[in-house]
Structure 1
Amino acid sequence: MYKHILIPTDGSPISTEALKKALDFAREIGAKATVLVVMEPLQVMTLNPTGMEVAYAEYDRFNNEAADRILADAKEAAKQRMVACEAVKLDSGDAAKTIVETAEKNNCDLIAMASHGRSGFKAFMLGSVTMKVLANSKTPVLVYR
């Protein structure tokens, strides 16, 4: 059975629900968990980059604070379930690739994630991270809907 589950989350309601279900599953089978937040960089197209340093710095600060909150909540949820849990946050412009690489690097034998986090136009333009993970992962993927 599975011994180490990677649980990527973006803090969205569906992702948070998937996190809880994945931690419940980990408890049931006696697996440990690694919770991953992938922080995507700010991407701005502008003809006048003057002053953008402040915007980038503020975005990075906000992004880090949000990731820290998500991971703290995840660690608390794991603690309540008595599941050994590591929290990881990584910067990447390609969340799916980072998820697949993190699973391999940490010898995870299962990735458990939500079916989607983004919706609407963003999901259409960026594609589903979950679909990309399913297409590129050698590690089995459990998708929560």
Structure 2
Amino acid sequence: MFKHLLLPTDGSSPSEVVNRKALQFAKEQQARVTAIHVVPTFHTLTYRTTMLEDTREEFVAECKAQASKFLTEVERAAQEIGVPCRSLMVTHDHPYEAINDTAAQSGCDLIVMASHGRRGLKGLLLGSETQKVLTHASVPVLVLR
């Protein structure tokens, strides 16, 4: 049924759990997986106070290292169970847009992602990338917890 899954990952515990489930689902579907990690663009004016201390080069290096860690884990798990997997680090200020754009550009027919379960004021203030993906996606989205 599904042949190409997009698997956004942020390295969180919920994301790691969903990664394992999504890879098993991909194996059952005989599908391939594209794993994606979205990093923010470097800004000199930002809500992320750590950016204010970094140079652009330090920030980019830190983002690449973090993305590599998260994506390598997905690739390793995919290889262990025999699921074809490629990975991408994408720089974008709006992760939901990067996820939806990548799904369209890569020909993915399903996005599988975690929900962190943020509700109420926390959900309002922090936002829900999963909700935004669901709202704007042009392909089906499977949300797991």
TM-score normalised to the size of structure 1?
0.87
For the aligned residue pairs, the C-alpha RMSD in angstroms reads: 2.3
Q: Does structure 2 retain, via aligned residues, the 8 Å contact 1:15–1:117?
A: no
Q: Determine the structure 2 residue equivalent to 1:86.
A: 86
Deviations 1:72-121 (A, max 9, x none): 11100000110000111110000001100100001100000001387997
The percentage of aligned residue pairs carrying the same residue is: 39
Give the length in aligned residue pairs: 140
Question: Compared with structure 1, are the counterparts of its residues 92 and 144 closer, same or farther at alpha carbon in structure 2 (3 Å cutoff)?
Answer: same
Question: Compared with structure 1, are the counterparts of its residues 117 and 70 closer, same or farther at alpha carbon in structure 2 (3 Å cutoff)?
Answer: farther
Q: Determine the structure 2 residue equivalent to 1:111.
A: 111
Question: Compared with structure 1, are the counterparts of its residues 33 and 13 closer, same or farther at alpha carbon in structure 2 (3 Å cutoff)?
Answer: same
Distance in 1 (CA, whole Å) between partners of 2:91 and 2:122 is 19
How far the C-alpha of 1:56 sits from its partner, in A, is 3.1
Unmatched tracts of structure 1, length 5 or more: 47-51
Deviations 1:4-34 (A, max 9, x none): 0000000111011111110010001100000
Q: 1:64-103 residue pairs with structure 2 within 5 A? A: 64-103=64-103
Q: Determine the structure 2 residue equivalent to 1:135.
A: 135
Deviations 1:38-76 (A, max 9, x none): 011344538xxxxx5843322221111010111111100
Distance in 2 (CA, whole Å) between partners of 1:100 and 1:73 is 22
Question: Compared with structure 1, are the counterparts of its residues 114 and 34 closer, same or farther at alpha carbon in structure 2 (3 Å cutoff)?
Answer: same
The answer as to 2:31 corresponding to 1:36 is: no
Q: Determine the structure 1 residue equivalent to 2:13.
A: 13
Distance in 2 (CA, whole Å) between partners of 1:127 and 1:135 is 13
The answer as to 2:18 corresponding to 1:22 is: no
Q: Determine the structure 2 residue equivalent to 1:49.
A: none
Question: Compared with structure 1, are the counterparts of its residues 38 and 79 closer, same or farther at alpha carbon in structure 2 (3 Å cutoff)?
Answer: same
**Does the residue aligned with 1:83 lie in a helix, a strand or coil?**
coil
Unmatched tracts of structure 2, length 5 or more: 47-51
